Amino acid sequence: MSLIQNLRNKCLFIFDLEFNGNIHDISTCKIWEIAVYCQDTGQMFEAVVDPDPEQKIFEVPPIPEILQLTRRFLENENAQTFDIVLQNLVDWVHAQSKKIPIFISHNTHKADKPILELEAARYSTHLPLNWFFFDSLHFCRDFHKSEDGNFSLSGLNRQLFNCDIIQCHRARADVEACTAILGRITGGSWQLFGPVYSSYTSSLRTVKWIGRKAEQLLIERNICSVEQLLEICKRNATVDYLHGNMESLKSIHRTISNIFGTTLPFENINNITDAISTHFVPYISFPIFTAPKQS
């Protein structure tokens, strides 16, 4: 993990996914469209994805602005399954630049990135490990003052351009909106600030109560992902148990307190401790779906 402002050998790709399913249960989400724009070359990658070739009827979207998927639409768009689309995207990204790809989307760490990883797992493949992800939502919240506190793409587009996004909830339209918003906020310089996370590493800000300041403090201490933070907590819990017969929750609190010291209020440290402890609660993972047969 690195700070985007410190990476020189990088190429920016603004992207968006459209998917059906419940965003509060990532395992239900399946991609049906993807668009990726290369800031360096000005080229756009677009593809309609067939979420399940054996499915004939698709659920009604939660809001009318979202396209109702039909089998006829997917056939007319020559939709392909995600494994094929992913390989086409990998080849396209490599053709655009040999620099480090930085994928940018709005709320990427809680939606787009984990859904991409999930879809790859369904087809027994994986995202390239040299892909990195940057969250435009965090950047906008950190470096743009919103008059009404609305940092959604639609809200920012209205604030900055005094208009709605045409064809909102289609991948290309949202990519174009995100690109325009970032261009306006940075004054056309595209000087972005904040952390990037590689494939299969989790943003520290996906942990409740870890915000910009706490994330910065963790990065300064070379703790650069949720996985790394959890590993430190587990290692310390073993040591604390062997040397002081300390229970795990107290050990986690001690670890978090030692990391942050007096830089965060005591209440924040308690809240982060509670949030971290929930990551160790056993859960039943969702099954990895077998790739659907091609019709």
117 and 141 housed in the same domain: yes
Question: What domain count does the chain have?
Answer: 2
In this prediction, residues 167-195 reach a mean pLDDT of 94
Q: Of 191, 207, 223, which closes a domain? A: 207
Burial of 176 (0-12, 13-18, 19+ CB in 10 A): buried
CA distance 232 to 223: 9
List pLDDT tens digits, range 72-118: 999 999 999 999 999 999 999 999 999 999 999 999 999 999 999 99
* Mean pLDDT for all residues in the chain: 92
Residue 84 is assigned to a structural domain of this protein: yes
CA distance to 66, 221, 270, 273, per residue, from 254 (Å): 47, 16, 10, 9
Containing domain of residue 202, as a range? 2-207
pLDDT (0 to 100) of residue 165: 87
Tell me the pLDDT band of 287, cut-offs 50, 70 and 90.
very low
Confidence (pLDDT) at 222? 95
Classified as helix, coil or strand, 30 is: strand
Q: What is the mean pLDDT of residues 155-168?
A: 89
- What pLDDT shows up at residue 64? 77
Distance, in Å, from the CA atom of 44 to the CA atom of 67, rounded to the nearest integer, reads 21
Looking at the fold, whether 88 and 161 belong to one and the same domain comes out as: yes
Closest CA to 52 of 36, 68, 29, 35: 29
Lowest mean pLDDT among 32-36, 58-62, 110-114, 269-273: 58-62
Predicted pLDDT of residue 147: 83
Is 294 within a domain? no
* Percent of the chain whose pLDDT exceeds 70: 95
Q: On the CB side of 204, how many CA atoms lie within 13 Å of its CA?
A: 24
Assess whether 266 and 156 both reside in one domain. Answer: no
Decide: 80 and 184 in contact? Cβ < 8 Å: no
Cα dihedral sign for 199, 202, 205, 208?
Answer: positive
The last residue of one of the domains, among 185, 207, 229, is 207
